[in-house]
Structure 1
Amino acid sequence: MERTLSSDLFSEKAVSNQSAMPLRVLANLMLWQRRISSRHQLARLDSRLLADAGISEAQRYEELSKPFWR
């Protein structure tokens, strides 16, 4: 029995990986948006609210200096 390239393209595993990709992309976009939003909120906190949350200025600076994908 000869195996062709086209049969590999339509295997069950290949099709399931292709259909899951848009969901992974969407999940990453949503995660990045949440990070951006939470860092904007963190940037707006005054020193009293930071102290209430137990966050130092150094910790805030460290979090705010991260790129959105990290």
Structure 2
Amino acid sequence: MQSSLLIAERPLPPLSRIAFSVAMTVLAWENRRHTRAALKRLDPHVLRDIGLDPVAAVDEAEKPFWRA
């Protein structure tokens, strides 16, 4: 158990930090792609329930996954 604590305290090597950053970016892109696809499928009354204008929802859903 002690060794796992020591691993967590050491900073990651530069290449590992880059790989981790790339992985987190890809995960964020996938999350955006998934949520925007789901947004396209929502009915107008559901959009109103969550406080979104249908036009704004379409604008958001049409954004490419890499744009925040």
Give the whole-Å Cα distance in 1 for the aligned partners of 2:58 and 2:37: 12
Compute the TM-score of the two structures, normalised by the length of structure 2. Answer: 0.74
The aligned counterpart of 1:11 is none
TM-score (norm 1): 0.72
Structure 2 unaligned regions, length at least 5: 1-11
Cα shift at 1:18: 2.1
1:36 corresponds to: 33
Structure 1 gaps of 5+ residues are: 1-14
2:49 corresponds to which residue? 52
Shift of 1:17: 2.4
State the aligned residue count. Answer: 56
DSSP-derived class of the 1:66 partner: coil
Q: Does 1:19 align with 2:16?
A: yes
One-letter amino acid matched to 2:18: M
Relative contact order higher in (CA < 8 Å, ≥ 6 apart): 2
Please identify runs of 4+ aligned residues in structure 1 that moved more than 3 A.
Answer: none
Identity percentage of aligned residues: 32
